[in-house]
Amino acid sequence: MVWQFFSEFSIIDAGKEVETMKMRRIDHVVLTVSNLEDAMRFYHEVFDMPVIDQQTTDDVITLRCGHQLIRLQKADRDTDLKAPHPTIGAADLCLVAGDKLDDILHHFRSYYVDVVTGPIEKRGSEGPMTSIYVHDPDKNLIEVSVYKNK
C-alpha cells in the first residue's frame, strides 16, 4: 500500500481521502539511563517528580510529570518492548515549569546542577517561552521552560 501525504491534515490512499488519526497528547516518554537509582534521584529531587512505580526487578522506574509520565529504563533491559538501539544520553526534551525563572535558577544552584545555556527566548507549542538547559546524570539535554503571560 502506497501512502501519499496530501496535506497537513489528510492523507490520500489510492486516490481516496482517508480519515487521519486524532492524537491527543503524549502519555509517556522513555529515557534510557546508565543507573536507575541516580536518574530517579535526579528527576525526583531536582524536578520534584513523584515516583509512581518502581519495578527495579524489571529495570524500569516511572515518574509523574504533570499529566504525563517519564519512564526510566536501563539500556540492557531484557524485554522486547524497547527501541532497537536504546541509547544512553540521546534524549532531548522540554519540561514546562510553573515557577519563576529566578527561582528555577536558584533551585538548580542548590542542587549543584550546572546550566548548559540560557535563559533563551523561544517559541513553544503554547506561545513565547524562556528556556534554560541542563543535563541529567546521563547527559540527556533537559530544557526547562517558563511560558510568558501564564
Residue 5 domain-assigned (yes or no): no
Report residue 48 as a C-alpha cell. Answer: 520534584
Assess whether the previous peptide bond of 84 is cis (omega < 30° from 0): no
Is residue 67 pLDDT above 80, yes or no? Answer: yes
Average pLDDT over residues 105-126: 96
Residue 6 domain-assigned (yes or no): no
Residue 57: per-residue pLDDT: 63
Is residue 2 pLDDT above 80, yes or no? Answer: no
Residue 12: per-residue pLDDT: 56
- The C-alpha atoms of residue 19 and residue 11 are separated, in whole angstroms, by 7
Residue 54 domain-assigned (yes or no): yes
- The C-alpha atoms of residue 148 and residue 129 are separated, in whole angstroms, by 5
The CATH number linked to 105 is: 3.10.180.10
* Structural domain count, the chain: 1
Residue 62: per-residue pLDDT: 94
What is the average pLDDT score of the chain? 87
Average pLDDT over residues 115-127: 95
Residue 19 domain-assigned (yes or no): no
- The C-alpha atoms of residue 134 and residue 87 are separated, in whole angstroms, by 18
First to last CA, the chain: 45
Residue 10 domain-assigned (yes or no): no
Residue 144: per-residue pLDDT: 98
Q: Choose between 71 and 11: higher pLDDT.
A: 71
pTM value is 0.81
Residue 43 CB neighbour total at 10 angstroms: 24
Residue 150: per-residue pLDDT: 62
Residue 3: per-residue pLDDT: 47
pLDDT tens digits, one per residue of 24-47: 888 999 999 999 999 999 999 999
CB 46 within 8 A of CB 97: no
- Domain span at residue 99? 25-147
pLDDT tens digits, one per residue of 12-26: 556 666 677 788 888
Residues 6+ apart with CB under 8 A from 88: 32, 33, 34, 75, 138
Residue 15 domain-assigned (yes or no): no
What b/e string do you get for 57-90 counting C-beta neighbours within 10 Å, with b at 16 or more? eebbbbbebeeebbebbbeeeeeeebeeebebbe
